[in-house]
Amino acid sequence: MPNFWTKSGQYISEKIFGSRTNDEDFNKLCETMKDTEKGLSSLRTVVQNFVTYSDNFKNFFEEFNSAIKLIYEKSPFESILEEVSVKHQIIQAELEDANKKMNNLFSKTSEWSIIFNSAKEEIKMREEKRKTYDHYEGKLSKMNKSNSKKDAKYIERNEAKYTKAASEYVEISEKAFNTINHSLKIAYELTNPIIDGIINMEKNLFKNLSSSLSCFNNIEERFKEIKKNYDNPNINKENITYDPLKYMNEKDLMKKISSNRRLTTSGKFSFKKNNNQNFGDSKYPNHRPMTISLKPLNENKEYFLIENYDNIYVNSRITNSFGDINEEKLKEFYDFEDDLI
């Protein structure tokens, strides 16, 4: 009888129809082993990359601090900026400590890649034994169905081979099954301390981070209080002054005006007006009446002249450090028009 039960024929048959023997329990255990091995590899990578994750987190704090520094430096909220910066430095130190702990844990994972090596070798051996067993099992099944007397001697000879193949398959299956379970046990025993270390590191890290930032529990109220004090002139004693004439061109008319911005008096005061200067009448049609208000700057009763720009120019034209302006010159001043009036 021609031998159609060759290994190549069996290979093709299994590709089309699958293997004759399908051990579900063993296959499930193999899947568990594969998942565990994949998980170990992923966990090892996570532990190894913790420094990278930490650096990204540290970059966040650095960029956050830089941003709020631009906003709050030299502002009423500068005290909060300084406090945030100090607390973030503490957090950075905590992250550095976490990096060291994770590096130590990573050094303990170097043997994880070989945990299942023995089991995988035995699985390969079992697969070869399974193919041999399936070969003779299928062959005998075919012969027994033929009921041909010519096949009797073939049946007898293959029964011995079948018995040997079945025995070897069972033996290696049990051995591989036990090796996989033992390898899984080792994997758990090696992983548990790493998981314990990571969880404790996380617990301590976030506990310390929370403790460092606990001073900001009432940060909303602190913002409101600072704003309230800043807006209250009785509390905020900072004297913010601004003189737009300070940096103007020396040749500009405003330079002359700025030299006369302060008046000092100890009591009542009055402005002397030349009798020939009839302000507001038709004699000087370009002249606008001047409105003056005085605001005390300090206890010495030093006053600051406050007026609109039109009146500033009017005032400048009746002020002459060399004495009173005569009628002719004064008329020239009032008849002159420029872009500022």
Give 121-183 as a DSSP string.
HHHHHHHHHHHHHHHHHHHHHHHHHH--GGGHHHHHHHHHHHHHHHHHHHHHHHHHHHHHHHH
**For the CA atoms of 183, 184, 185, 187, what is the dihedral angle to 10 degrees?**
90
How does residue 334 score in pLDDT terms, banded at 50, 70 and 90?
A: low
Section 211-224 average pLDDT:
87
- Lowest average pLDDT, out of 54-68, 88-102, 313-327, goes to 313-327
Residue 134 has pLDDT above 60, yes or no: yes
How does residue 325 score in pLDDT terms, banded at 50, 70 and 90?
A: low
- Lowest average pLDDT, out of 113-117, 168-172, 180-184, 304-308, goes to 304-308
Residue 34 has pLDDT above 80, yes or no: yes
Query: Domain locations in the chain?
Result: 7-224, 253-335
pLDDT of residue 235: 59
Check: CB of residue 135 under 8 Å from CB of residue 18.
no
Distance CA 77, CA 105 (A): 42
Both tokens of 125, joined, read 């051996």
* Average pLDDT value for the chain: 76
Residue 65 has pLDDT above 60, yes or no: yes
In degrees and rounded to multiples of 5, residue 142 shows phi and psi of: -65, -45
Both tokens of 316, joined, read 């400048």
Residue 92 has pLDDT above 60, yes or no: yes
Section 126-137 average pLDDT:
90
Distances (CA, A) of 199 to 46, 47, 131, 202, 270: 13, 12, 46, 5, 82
Looking at 232-303, list the stretches that DSSP marks H as alpha helix, in order from N- to C-terminal side: 253-258
Distance CA 80, CA 102 (A): 33
**For the ranges 141-145, 270-274, 301-305, the one whose mean pLDDT is highest:** 141-145
Of residues 188 and 82, more confidence is placed in 188
pLDDT of residue 274: 47
**For the ranges 48-62, 142-156, 234-248, the one whose mean pLDDT is highest:** 48-62
**For the ranges 124-128, 290-294, 314-318, the one whose mean pLDDT is highest:** 124-128
In 3-state terms, what secondary structure has residue 291? coil
In degrees and rounded to multiples of 5, residue 271 shows phi and psi of: -105, 130
Section 85-106 average pLDDT:
93
The CATH code of domain 7-224 reads: 1.20.1270.60
Strand partners, 302: 264
Distances (CA, A) of 135 to 6, 14, 141, 238: 8, 11, 10, 98
Both tokens of 229, joined, read 């004090």
Distance CA 105, CA 195 (A): 9
pLDDT of residue 8: 58
What's the distance, Cα to Cα, between the start and end of the chain in Å?
A: 125
